Amino acid sequence: MATAAFADQERLARIKAAVGTDYVPDEAEDYMSERQCDYFRMLLLEWKRSIHSAAETTLQSLQDGPIREADLNDRASSETDWGIELRTRDRQRKLIAKIDAALRRIDAGEYGFCEVTGDPIGLKRLIARPVATMTVEAQEAHERREKISRDD
């Protein structure tokens, strides 16, 4: 894992140099041009790095020792905080899988296009949610179908 993280850091440095730090994709450019793909790759790699960094901090805190609050209320509060922290890390673990899938889609040339309709997802949506796989319309239709099947 350390070599993968190092490779990601090297790739991130190369992309930052190629793209530039102040670049933001523009609708006037060709959709999913090489520069736009590099921008989103950089965004995804930075997001992944920040998640790993937060996870390392949590792991270090867990290794520092168990909760040793004398007061039962303080202990319960600390345990609740740890529970929330661990659930957050679990959600972020799942998010890393989505980030990796998005990076694979960039490499395959499929990033930025809806997996249902094949239409462009749109730059604004991808900037807001870089792991998006569907257009807003397709996502809303998917959520409606999901809600209907849950209600049945």
Q: How confident is residue 76, by pLDDT bands cut at 50, 70 and 90?
A: confident
CA distance 90 to 97: 11
Least confident of 2-6, 16-20, 116-120: 2-6
Q: Return d(Cα 120, Cα 133) in angstroms, integer.
A: 10
pLDDT surpasses 90 at 98: yes
Tokens of 81: 């905080």
Please give the CATH topology (third level) of the domain spanning 2-111.
Answer: Four Helix Bundle (Hemerythrin (Met), subunit A) (1.20.120)
Q: How far apart are CA 49 and CA 5, in angstroms?
A: 8
Residue 15 has pLDDT above 60, yes or no: yes
The tokens for 96 are 């890393």
Q: Which two tokens stand for residue 113?
A: 């296009």
Contact 12, 46 (CB under 8 A): yes
Q: Quote the CA–CA distance of 9 and 52 in Å, as a whole number.
A: 12
* pLDDT tier, 66 (very low <50, low <70, confident <90, very high otherwise): low
Q: How far apart are CA 100 and CA 108, in angstroms?
A: 12
Pick the more confident residue, 86 or 108.
108
Whole-number pLDDT of residue 152: 63
Pick the closest to residue 9 from 54, 37, 40, 50 (CA basis).
Answer: 50
Which residues 6+ apart lie within 8 Å of 45 measured at CB? 8, 11, 12, 15, 103
**Whole-model pTM over 0.95:** no
User: pLDDT class for 121, splitting at 50, 70, 90?
Assistant: very high
pLDDT tier at 108 (50, 70, 90 boundaries)?
very high
Q: In the prediction, which pLDDT does 81 show?
A: 79
| pLDDT computed for residue 67 by the predictor | 62
Rounded to whole angstroms, the Cα distance separating 106 from 98 reads 12
